[in-house]
Structure 1
Amino acid sequence: MPSITTICYFLSLLFYGMGYSKNLLIKNYTTYISASDYTFLVSLTTGYFVLAIFFAVSGSFYLFVNLRRDLL
């Protein structure tokens, strides 16, 4: 597996973990936070999940292109 693909997959797991931890924070403290803090945490969580998807797709694309180039 190429090193760029490994880095992209690692970053994807990292951002997924960060998004999941923020999601647990939202579930545990919904009664103690204000609406503006809630909106900020939801936006931050969504951003982490979007980054996780982006790095997973880009890592898979790079792996596909690298394997396709080796076959041809």
Structure 2
Amino acid sequence: MNSNELRKLQALPVSEKLMLVEVLWQSIGESTDEPEVSDAEKRELDSRWARFERDPSRAMTLDQFDALLKARRG
């Protein structure tokens, strides 16, 4: 996508942007492509998992995470 095409998309009304997002989201769900994960990302995920396994009590529940997001949004 070139910068001119991107500017056109950014200029769309919100309702059209949302429709485009929905179409794109559906196409992602139907895709058989898997995103590539770099070695650095794999190491980071392994590190986070190991940290969780050492002390699972530090993890947030889904309810806690939702409350945090709501608090940050105001």
Question: If the length of structure 1 is used for normalisation, what is the TM-score?
Answer: 0.30
Relative contact order (C-alpha < 8 Å, sep 6+): which is higher?
1
Q: Please report the TM-score for the alignment, with normalisation by the length of structure 2.
A: 0.30
Q: Which has the higher helix share?
A: 1
